[in-house]
Amino acid sequence: MKKIGLFGGTFDPVHHGHLAVGRAALRQLGLDTLYLIPASSPPHKSDQLITPFFHRMAMLRLAVQGEPRFVVSDIEGQRSGPSYTIDTLSQFRQNLGPEADFFFIIGLDAFADITTWKKYQELLNRTSFVVIDRPSHGCRTVNEVVSKCFPAYEQEEKGIWGCEGSQRIYALEMEPVPVSSSMIRDRLRRGEAIDDLIPAVVVDYLQCNRLFPAAKKKGREN
Ligand code: ATP
């Protein structure tokens, strides 16, 4: 069996938090490969203006240069309509065959809403979930969310829950990295530096392509 991590998101833009999560998942779960899968049309962000897919892909590719076990996948860019994870999982199963053991990597903010995802129960049956605490997004823990939303799951050992007929849920142990893409977009709009939040090659890319331009300051124009 090959252990395959699937890390979906908007990545608008990719940041150090995403990369730290990916590295921790590779290490803790002993994954063979971690696919970073930008959503072409994220169903939960349909009311937001999102950077074009090809720019988000390009930034991801730059960010993972020199990290051989990270692979950037354009699978969701090849489909039209909302990017549902259940469809992505089916495509990965078809492409990689029965020998792949899937681990879907997800922050607690997103996992706490999982019951609103298309066919979420089928997702839980077909892939393990690896959930990361995100204290910057509220004070709940993976433990609290699993006990509240999924009472049928039993804790098998610290940070691992199981349920008959479903794949396991794992809590990823890592130091929190309190960074988000919205924080980066906000800073850029205010004209502030972001060098501490994303890799330098990505800073260069978004400056060259004038992504997220700073908002014009109010005041007298000369
Ligand atoms: P935004 O601020 O625009 O909502 P984001 O920083 O949450 O973006 P996404 O691309 O939407 O980034 O996130 C993809 C996945 O990565 C989600 O499951 C999210 O919870 C998780 N994630 C993002 N940043 C972090 C972080 N700093 N620590 C842990 N998980 C994270």
CA-closest residue to ligand 1 atom 30? 107
Residue 25 is predicted with a pLDDT of: 98
pTM of the model: 0.95
Q: What is the torsional sign of CA 113, 116, 118, 121?
A: positive
Atom of ligand 1 nearest to the CA of 14: 10
Domains of the chain (ranges; CATH) run: 2-176 (3.40.50.620)
Q: How confident is the model at residue 106 (pLDDT cuts 50, 70, 90)?
A: very high
Cα–Cα distance between 209 and 60 in angstroms, integer? 15
Q: How far is the CA of 18 from the centre of ligand 1 (A)?
A: 7
Residue 41 and residue 10 in contact, taking contact as beta carbons nearer than 8 Å = no
pLDDT, one tens digit per residue, over 33-43 is 999 999 998 88
Cα–Cα distance between 199 and 133 in angstroms, integer? 22
User: What's the distance, CA 55 to chain centroid?
Assistant: 17
**Average pLDDT, whole number, for the chain?**
93
Atom of ligand 1 nearest to the CA of 11: 10
Q: Is the CB of 184 under 6 A from ligand 1?
A: no
Q: How far is the CA of 197 from the centre of ligand 1 (A)?
A: 13
Residues 6+ apart with CB under 8 A from 160: 168, 169, 170, 171
